[in-house]
Amino acid sequence: MRAQIFTILFSFFAFISATHAQEKIQDRADWEKYFAEFNAKGTIVVADERKGIRSTLVYDEARAKQRYSPASTFKIPHTLMALDAGAVRDEFQVFRWDGVARSFAAHNQDQDLRSAVRNSTIWVYEKFAKQIGEDRARDYLRKLNYGNADPTTARGNYWVDGNLAISAYEQISFLKKLYRNELPFRIEHQRLVKDITIVEAGRDWILRAKTGWEGRMGWWVGWVEWPSGPVFFALNIDTPNRMEDLHKREDIVRAILRSIKALPSG
């Protein structure tokens, strides 16, 4: 009996040790060249799960642990919250433009979920936030374990100008759960959100992602699906030149993903 117990315990701890070994974080200081190429300061976390091997690659780990406003990357969980709360029925529901001219032309028209995500149409999500309310938003954020789960704000929207904050590591953790339909929402809602965040696709791969910009810093988060497994990424950079810096988010991520063959070249 003792021998059997020992064997079981040994197998269990061997499994745990192997799992931790697979998830070992690798510092990619060499990725500094991609940030330098675009004159950008920031961090990136890449979780490569292709071929069943868990590998987390990080440039600037200290910054990867630091929390920032999620900005429009919050549209991913916010859409799930809105669907669950009944603030939106489905991807076909149309939100009529209120006629107020905004600085981004794509916002000055009727929207549905797909266009609201694609164009980062903030007025649609302001409607969702009003219907959901602060207390229910806090409950959702706690269930999601999303960053600091704080939807309070003294001015503006809590996911841009308020207290809500999340790190690059935490973005990866959230995205992994969404990929596996493990979030505390209906599976059909999780699948819908994944569908409307498709950015690009090839014969055997799909890129799902969302940008975010708080003004002083910007995000690009998402993953690439391959038959051999997903590759998750979360990048944030400072944007001192504001809109002139926004292209750098995708440029840096794409360069890094191509370097590890997580995106096709060219």
Q: Which of 255, 225, 252, 254 shows the shortest CA–CA distance to 43? A: 252
Whether residue 183 contacts residue 80, with contact meaning beta carbons closer than 8 Å, is answered with yes
- To which H or E segment does residue 5 belong? helix 2-22
> Per-residue b/e over 60-82, b at no fewer than 16 CB within 10 Å?
bbebbeeebbbbbbbbbbbbbbb
Lookup result for tokens 């055997």: 204
Catalytic site residue 72? yes
Q: Is 152 exposed, middle or buried (0-12, 13-18, 19+ CB in 10 A)?
A: exposed
The Cα–Cα gap between 67 and 2 comes to 48
Determine which one of 17, 55, 69, 72 is catalytic: 72
- For residue 146, the tally of other CB atoms under 10 A from its CB is 24
What residue type is 70 in one-letter code?
A: P
* Catalytic annotation, residues: 72
